[in-house]
Amino acid sequence: MAHAVELRDFRLEIHHFRVRLAVVAGFVLAVFGLLAARFFYLQVVHHEHYRTLAEQNRISIVPIVPNRGIIVDRNGVVLAHNHSAYTLEIRPSKVEDLEALIDELATIVDIAPKDRKRFHKLLEESKNFESLPIRTRLSEEEIARFAANRYRFPGVEINARLFRQYPQGELFSHVVGHIGRINQRELDQLEADGLVANYRGTDYIGKTGLEQSYERFLHGTTGVEEVEVDSGGRAVRTLSRTPPVSGNNLVLTLDAKLQEMVYRAFGDKRGALVAIEPGTGGVLAFVSKPGFDPNLFVEGIDPQNWNELNTSPDRPMVNRALAGTYPPGSTFKPYMALAALTYGKRTPQQTINDPGYFMFGGHQFRDSRPGGNGVVDMYKSIVKSSDTYYYMLANDLGIDAIARFMAQFGFGARTGIDVTGEAVGVLPSQEWKLRRFKQKWYAGETISIGIGQGYNAYTPLQLAAAIATVANDGVMYRPHIVNYIEDIRTRERTAVEPSPLRTLDLKPEHLAVVKQALVGVNKEGTGARAFAGAGYVSAGKTGTAQVIGLKQGEKYVESRVQERLRDHALFIAYAPADQPSIALAVVVENAGFGARAAAPIARKALDYYLLGKVPEPVKTGKDDDDASGG
């Protein structure tokens, strides 16, 4: 047997070998079959999926941001437009050491500490992959210097961008508002509204004022460019292009000159003025003083300016005309008189005796004129601004009748003007107090309501809308600031139609009485001095609103009261008296009597608007002898 093992059987060996080869061949076939199956799986079964992925690799959808519509006043004066400027931008995702990079950049272009701060603020707020500006508005020289050194700065680029600019600066800071970088909250809102696609590539959105409320008209439609890119993201060629559609322009009812005039007329005082065209509701001037430079916000405000604006005791960011609420003071009286006539509580001729105070429930309600105005009828009550007359009247009308009547004029309700952020104000009533304080109304509280004090608190816009309604004989229009929306391509203008809110239930003869008295104010009453020598007949009413309550028997002495606690000066007016084309309300904060501080501003506004008169530089003389009633 051992011998047999020694002898090799070649044929058997070859046979064994070939069996093994056959196994190997089978293995090869199986493996190639596996590959073929894999190819089939990728190229047939999932072909669509991979085709899409390849297309996504290849095609980059680049949004083309539309030009934002511009904003002009009624005469075409530009209030907001776009200008092209070069920015130096950093793509943080492509930079390892940002600080070192910025330090090095600073050797080539000017980078101020506030630029750095702003950049860091933007960096915190931004999503990744974005290009963020470190410097805006580069000079030609800086561009040239950077271009020569750009190889040293991967991830840094110069871009030509359109910037929003507000050439009027602080004049229209509140009403036109400003744009700013889109934040997370706004992004969420856009998402909820299904507008995210249209905002691809858009960094800015209207933040305040008309820029915010007319955002969807101003923004336009984003265009799209399909670009073939390589793996490095470099564009190889353009595949298709859908051009963007520019945003619509806004033509306002505002008069920029009037606005500027009024703004200057305030001097260094704080306050607000709203002027309205009574027959349409178009707003002619919408001033809140002090303002601020809206251009600061466009590229993201630097922390220093932000702090200054935020901590300033003047609170320049508050839109006083829209969101500031003030007691109307004596400017409330004409409406009280109308209520008396309408509800039959007084006749025009009916007189009262004004001893200088009104006693109610053991309390003495003092008249602002010591010793009173003697015998007072309705005309005199308005012209001389008798408090005692209206203490009594308020008591006779009762709080709910007052509230019911005043509500018609829009007191204590939003006017529905086309900017957001309107304050409601307070039109006091029994029901309001119960709701607000869970307390019942005391009859004594009604007395000072009659002279526009107490809980009364209205926005200058509401005051202006109300006096415009009187000027327009009881037909009230919704105030609006935008006159036309203009399509930039077709030049087609869509007018914002004047919309009458309501026609008040007022008797013409009652209105006539009150309007005659308002004319009397500027002719022979508390407004006479301010309107002396006016080349037109105007109607007006002064008002002084207490900032602090006075104790019984205490006398208000202006010089003794801290400036911020002094009374607010108010004035409402319209002109020409027979055919009013402008109605306005002015509030000057902590300026004392309305006749002294507020009426002259109104006079300048009316002079300019009606006569085209540009006032001489503001006099600083004292003319405060028309003190009574305020």
Contact flag: residue 36 with another protein (CB under 8 A): yes
Residue 94 found at the interface with another protein (CB under 8 A):
no
Q: How far is the CB of 280 from another protein (least distance, A)?
A: 60
Helix (H, G, I), strand (E, B) or coil at 426: strand
DSSP one-letter code for 134: E
**Binds another protein (CB under 8 A): choice among 4, 76, 192, 232:** 232
Distance, in Å, from the CA atom of 377 to the CA atom of 351, rounded to the nearest integer, reads 4
- Shortest Cβ 38–another protein spacing (Å): 5
Q: Is residue 57 a contact point for another protein (CB under 8 A)?
A: yes
Which of 1, 2, 4, 24 contacts another protein by CB under 8 A? 24
436 lies in the binding site for another protein (CB under 8 A): no
Options 49-57, 256-264, 378-386, 554-562: segment touching another protein (CB under 8 A)? 49-57
| Closer Cβ to another protein, 186 or 226, answer by number | 226
Which of 229, 424, 537, 610 touches another protein (CB under 8 A)? 229
330 part of the active site: yes
- Pick the binder of another protein from 42, 147, 359, 565 (CB under 8 A): 42
Q: How far is the CB of 420 from another protein (least distance, A)?
A: 44
Separation of alpha carbons 562 and 272, rounded Å: 21
Binding mask 189-228 for another protein (x = CB under 8 A): ---------------------------------------x
Closest CA to 421 of 202, 156, 177: 177
The two tokens of residue 544 are 């002084």
Q: Which range, of 11-19, 184-192, 376-384, 473-481, touches another protein by CB under 8 A?
A: 11-19
Rounded to a whole number of angstroms, the minimum distance from the CB of residue 40 to another protein is 7
* Distance, CA of 498 to CA of 472 (rounded, Å): 13
Report the residue number, 12 or 192, with the smaller CB distance to another protein: 12
* Residue 236 touching another protein (CB under 8 A): yes
Residue whose CB is less far from another protein, 56 or 503: 56
By CB under 8 A, is residue 40 in contact with another protein?
yes
User: Which residue among 2, 4, 8, 268 contacts another protein (CB under 8 A)?
Assistant: 8
| Closest separation in Å from C-beta 24 to another protein | 6
Half-sphere exposure of 199 (CA within 13 A, CB side): 21
Nearer to another protein, 25 or 550 (CB): 25
Per the CB < 8 A criterion, the answer to whether 467 and 602 are in contact is no
Q: Which is nearer to another protein, 55 or 616 (CB)?
A: 55
Task: Print burial letters for 313-345: b (CB count within 10 Å at least 16), e (below 16).
Answer: eeebbbbbbbbbbbbbbbbbbbbbbbbbbbeeb
The answer to whether residue 53 forms part of the interface with another protein (CB under 8 A) is yes
Using CB under 8 A as the binding rule, whether residue 49 contacts another protein is answered as: yes
Shortest distance (Å) from residue 1 CB to another protein: 16
Q: Return contacts of 9-17, CB within 8 angstroms, 24+ apart.
A: none
Euclidean distance between CA atoms 314 and 290, whole angstroms: 7
Write the CA distances from 6 to 2, 12, 18, 392, integer angstroms. 7, 14, 22, 142
Nearer to another protein, 30 or 407 (CB): 30
Which of the following is catalytic: 173, 213, 288, 330? 330
Tokens of 430: 């029994």
Prior bond of 244 cis (ω within 30°): no
Shortest distance, position 223 Cβ to another protein, whole Å: 24
Q: What is the DSSP letter of 221?
A: B
> Given the rule CB under 8 A, which of 14-22, 329-337, 349-357, 530-538 is the region that contacts another protein?
14-22
Single-letter amino acid, residue 511: L
All residues at 6 or more sequence positions from 346 whose CB lies less than 8 Å from its CB, including other chains: 337, 340, 378, 393, 396
Nearest CB to another protein, comparing residues 47 and 564: 47
Q: Which stretch binds another protein (CB under 8 A): 39-47, 145-153, 162-170, 427-435?
A: 39-47
- The yes or no reply on residue 43 touching another protein (CB under 8 A) is yes
The reply on whether position 34 binds another protein by CB under 8 A is yes
141 exposed, middle or buried (CB, 10 Å; 0-12, 13-18, 19+)? exposed
Minimum distance between the CB of residue 57 and another protein, rounded to whole angstroms?
5
16 sits near another protein (criterion: CB under 8 A): yes
Question: Phi and psi dihedrals of 542, rounded to 5?
Answer: -85, 160
2 interacts with another protein by CB under 8 A: no
Q: Report in angstroms how near the CB of residue 52 gets to another protein at its nearest.
A: 8
* 39 scored as a contact of another protein (CB under 8 A): yes
**Closest listed residue to residue 338, CA positions, set 505, 174, 164:** 505
Question: Order of strands across the sheet with 235-242?
Answer: 59-64, 223-229, 235-242
Question: Is-contact 399 429, C-beta < 8 A?
Answer: yes
Question: Could you give phi then psi for residue 433, rounded to 5 degrees?
Answer: -65, -40
**According to the binding rule CB under 8 A, does residue 442 interact with another protein?**
no
186 scored as a contact of another protein (CB under 8 A): no
- Report residue 551 CA to chain centroid gap: 38
**Does position 9 bind another protein by CB under 8 A?**
no
Rank residues 55 and 97 by Cβ distance to another protein and give the closer one: 55
600 within 8 A of 265, measured Cβ to Cβ: yes
Report the run of H or E that residue 81 belongs to, with start and end: strand 78-90
Work out whether 21 is an interface residue with another protein (CB under 8 A): yes
Q: How many residues bind another protein (CB under 8 A)?
A: 38
Concatenated DSSP letters of 292-356: --THHHHT---HHHHHHHHH-TT-TTS-HHHH--B--GGGGHHHHHHHHHHTTS--SS--EEE-S
Q: Is 620 helix (H, G, I), strand (E, B) or coil?
A: coil
11 part of the interface to another protein, by CB under 8 A: no
Q: Which stretch binds another protein (CB under 8 A): 25-33, 401-409, 425-433, 605-613?
A: 25-33
- Interface residue list for another protein (CB under 8 A): 6, 8, 16-18, 20-21, 24-25, 28-29, 31-32, 34-36, 38-40, 42-44, 46-47, 49-51, 53-55, 57-58, 228-232, 236
Residues belonging to the active site: 330
